[in-house]
Every structure is written in C-alpha cells, then in structure tokens.
Amino acid sequence: MKNFSNYTDYSKKEELSFESKAVHGALGCEPLTGAVSFPIYQSSTFRHPEFGKTTGFAYSRLANPTRQELERTLAILEEGEYGFCFSSGQAANMALFTLLNPGEHIILMDDIYGGTYRIMAQIFGKYGIEYDFVDLSDLEALRSTIKPNTKMIFIETPSNPLMKVVDIRAVSDIAHEIGAISVVDNTFLTPYFQKPLTLGADVVIHSATKYLGGHNDIIAGAAVVRDEKLAAHFTLQLKSHGSGLAPMDSWLMLRGLKTLHLRMERHNENAKIVAGWLRNHPKVKKVYYVGFEDHKDYAVTMKQTTGFGGMISFAVDSEETVMKILRDVDMVMFAESLGGTETLITYPTTQTHEDTPEDVKEKLGITRSFLRLSVGIENVNDIINDLDRAMS
Ligand SMILES: *Cc1c(COP(=O)(O)O)cnc(C)c1O
C-alpha cells in the first residue's frame, strides 16, 4: 500500500525558492490519486490494514492528512523541522505557555496583542506563572527584567499596534545565555519577509487567521520549531487540548499559502504608499510604520527582514476625527483583524486591546485617537481616496 511517508518530498529540494515551495507544499500533490489540489480528508478516524499496521493516521485529533500537509508546508516555509496547526492563534499560544512550570517567569513584549496579554493576566497567572511586560526593543530594559527563574522571552515584531521592532538575534542570544527560550510571534511579517528560526529563535508562533490564511475566511494558528523536545511538547498539547485545525480550514490555509508571496508583495507596496500619504495629512499627528527610514529601529528591520509588511498605525488630532473615519469609510472596512486581502481599519483601544489595562494603554500611546490600518491588496488609489474622503 502506498503511503504518505515514502512519497517524494519535492519542496525540500534545495534548489526550489520560497515561492515554489509555497505553491507546491510538502508532498507536491496527493500521493494516492495525484490530485493537484491536496484533498480535504474529512474523516475523524482511519482504518488500519491489520493489527500492528497503520497508514500513519489513526484519529484526526492526533493527525489528519490535510492538516499534516499544511503543517509540513509551514515548517518548510519557516525553515523549521516541525509544524503544528491550531484552531486559532490563541490556541497555539495556550499550547506554548504550558511549557512553563509554576514558579517560572516569562517576559513578553509590552504592547503585545491584547489576547496574549489576557492569557497571561487572567489564566496562567493563577497557575503560578510569573510574568512581566517589557519593551524588548530596549535590550537594557530586557536585561533588568530578567530573574533567576526566567524561562521564556516572547517577542512580537513588529509589535502590535505600536510597530516597534525587536532584534530577534540579540534577544534570542540573551535568552540562551540565561537558559531560557525565545519565541517570536511572526504574524505581521510571515516567513516571506522574516524567518525567526534562522535568527536564533526557538519557536515561531502565528495567528494564521491573518496573512497566512490571508482571505479573512478562517481562524487558525500555528507553531513551528526545530527542536525535537519542543516538537514533542506541542504534539502532546495538540492531542490533549484537541485544538488541532480542522481539515476544511487546513485546506483553506493551504490554498492561501499558494499566493502568500504575491499578497505580501502587494501589501508591502500598498502600505508604503499609504504610510507616506498619511504622514502628510493635516489631521494625522503621528504615523507608526516600520518602513520609514527615520523609524527608531530601522537598522534592525533592515538587518532581519526583507520587507515591511502591510500594517500601519496612526494617531489623529482628536477622538471626533476617529469617530468620523470609522463612520465614513466605505471600501475600507471598520473591523477587527488584519492580514487579509481587504483593507481593514481597527480601533485598538476598544477592540484588539480592550483587556489591556487603561494605564498601560495610556503609557504605550494606545489612546482614543489611535487607529490601526491593515492595508489590503486593492488598488492603492482606491484605498487612499476612501480614507481621504472619510478624513475630510
Ligand atoms: C490576531 C492575533 C493573535 C491571536 O490570534 P487568533 O487567530 O485571533 O486567535 C495573536 N497575535 C497577533 C499578533 C495577532 O494579530
């Protein structure tokens, strides 16, 4: 009987570039029938040929062929060894944080995604995990927060929503010096622009809901690692939580990945133009965009990434202007989330960062006149015209 494990793994061939690997995935096509679009294996369980023999699959909570093809494809794209796909980015984070034992300490980026803040503050804190939020783009601040029991440093770069950039290599080196691991939430740039495992990180985490899926049609998460012990941890969590991504959603994400490089190029191009335009708008006080040459972390960006992505935040002159924009945008949609083909505008203080304490938000600059824009892949003139109309 043919099985999946002895089929040619085209994409691991060294000579293929990122784009070809993204299009062809891990197996190249489905091994049993040759289907070019990898099928959706909508089956909860798998028949065994005889006692002691297996096709490699037993029960879809543990492993499913569609999810496995996706996980292997992601591992290839991130230049890792093992991929894991979850029912959401937060499910991936839940699986990650269970690496910590009671009494251990984790340091996280200060303006981190609000849901990740909530996991720490409302769930893991109560199991005796100690945590601190620090601006990891300031290495001195990081060093002074380290404790003897620090076991994990959680980076988000560029950070959400303030677009600070963290030196992945430097922070990973510090983590390893103290016997901790470094984790990078790579949601904003994806492996097309940034590959944290090649910069010394131990774990890459994604909200695959965003650019990896790319079409605002699934909720999904992922983790990719190189180390076998870390892989065993994620395997155990996935099978215990039952948080593996369903076959249909795995297929949608596989389909999304085929155009990741094209979409990221267009997001990048459009965002550069929109950021420049916003900066010259009289009602805009400040634009947060990692592609500006005068961004304080620009040198770090140029060292570790090959693009700036599609995310921009900006502060306007008043809360009234915010309300007018959110009401008057037309093609651009006022909605949570990011990374899809459609341009979305978000109000972080009441949406993504609702559960971040007010004083923390105030200190960070996530105020009531602060907006976040996920620049889509529409025609950039249409995006600018729509914003211009809403802002004037
Ligand atoms: C959206 C997001 C998450 C959470 O992911 P879900 O897929 O919504 O669970 C985590 N980190 C970042 C940076 C995000 O943007």
Residue of the CA atom closest to atom 7 of ligand 1: 89
> What are phi and psi for residue 298, nearest 5 degrees?
-55, -40
Flag whether pLDDT at 301 surpasses 60.
yes
The CATH number linked to 338 is 3.90.1150.10
Question: Do both 57 and 181 map to the same domain?
Answer: yes
In the listed set 236, 257, 278, which residue is the last one of a domain according to the structure?
257
Please tell me whether residues 272 and 250 are part of one structural domain: no
**pLDDT tens-digit series, residues 362-386:** 888 899 999 999 999 999 999 999 9
On the question of pLDDT at 7 being above 60, the answer is: no
Distance 4 CA to ligand 1 centre (A): 32
Q: Are residues 248 and 273 in the same domain?
A: no
Domain count, the chain: 2
Verify that 224 and 355 share a domain, yes or no: no
DSSP state of 310: S
Encoding tokens for residue 190? Answer: 């994806």
Domain boundary, last residue among 198, 223, 257? 257
Q: How many residues does the chain have?
A: 392
Please report which confidence band the pLDDT of residue 31 belongs to, taking 50, 70 and 90 as the band edges.
confident
The CA-atom distances, in angstroms, between 273 and each of 104, 161, 261 are 44, 19, 19
Contact between residue 54 and residue 2 where contact means Cβ atoms under 8 Å apart = no
CA distance 156 to 45: 37
pLDDT tens digits for range 210-261: 999 999 999 999 999 999 999 999 999 999 999 999 999 999 999 999 999 9
Say if residue 192 is in the same domain as residue 125. Answer: yes
Question: Within this chain, do residues 288 and 251 fall inside the same structural domain, yes or no?
Answer: no
Whether residue 11 is predicted with pLDDT greater than 50 in this model: the reply is no
Catalytic residue among 72, 164, 210, 263: 210
127 and 274 part of one domain: no
pLDDT tens, position by position, 83-121:
999 999 999 999 999 999 999 999 999 988 888 989 999
Cβ–Cβ < 8 Å for 316, 283: yes
Residues 91 and 202 in one domain: yes
Q: What is the pTM of this model?
A: 0.95
Domain end, chosen from 257, 287, 307, is at 257
Q: What domain range includes position 108?
A: 4-257
- The answer to whether residue 322 scores a pLDDT higher than 90 is yes
Same-domain status, 252 and 316: no
Active site residue 185: yes
Do 211 and 345 share a structural domain?
Answer: no
- What does pLDDT average to over the chain? 94
Give catalytic status of residue 113 as yes or no. yes
Same-domain check for residues 277 and 381:
yes
Q: Are residues 246 and 275 in the same domain?
A: no
Q: What is the CATH number of the domain that holds 60?
A: 3.40.640.10
3-state secondary structure 311-355: EEEEEECCHHHHHHHHHHCCCCEECCCCCCCCCEEECCCCCCCCC
